[in-house]
Amino acid sequence: MRGRTPGDPPGQDGDHRTETGERGAFALARCSCGWAGPARRARDRARADAEAHSGAPPTD
Ligand SMILES: [Zn+2]
């Protein structure tokens, strides 16, 4: 799978555990499967990205 960095704990198969994080002035969504959403200026947008990806609200 692309986007996974060595040392990251593996996600469970079929499990998408999303969370939102910040990068500089931007917020972005991330998932345990290695997916990451685009950088957003608003945290709410990053949350929406995460929800759209996993189908569930992100844990925060
Ligand atoms: Zn995922």
| pLDDT value for 2 | 61
CA of 38 to the centre of ligand 1 (A): 14
Q: Using pLDDT thresholds of 50, 70 and 90, give the confidence band for residue 14.
A: confident
- Read off the pLDDT of residues 33-51 as tens digits, 9 standing for 90 and up: 999 999 999 999 999 999 9
Q: Which residue has the higher pLDDT, 9 or 45?
A: 45
pTM of the model: 0.72
Amino acid at 19: E
CA of 32 to the centre of ligand 1 (A): 6
CA of 7 to the centre of ligand 1 (A): 17
Q: Which residues surround ligand 1, an ion (CB under 5 A)?
A: 16, 31, 33, 35
CA of 24 to the centre of ligand 1 (A): 23
Domain boundaries, the chain: 18-54
| pLDDT value for 56 | 86
**pLDDT of 11 over the 50 cut:** no
Burial, 19: exposed, middle or buried (Cβ in 10 Å; 0-12, 13-18, 19+)?
middle
Helix (H, G, I), strand (E, B) or coil at 39: coil
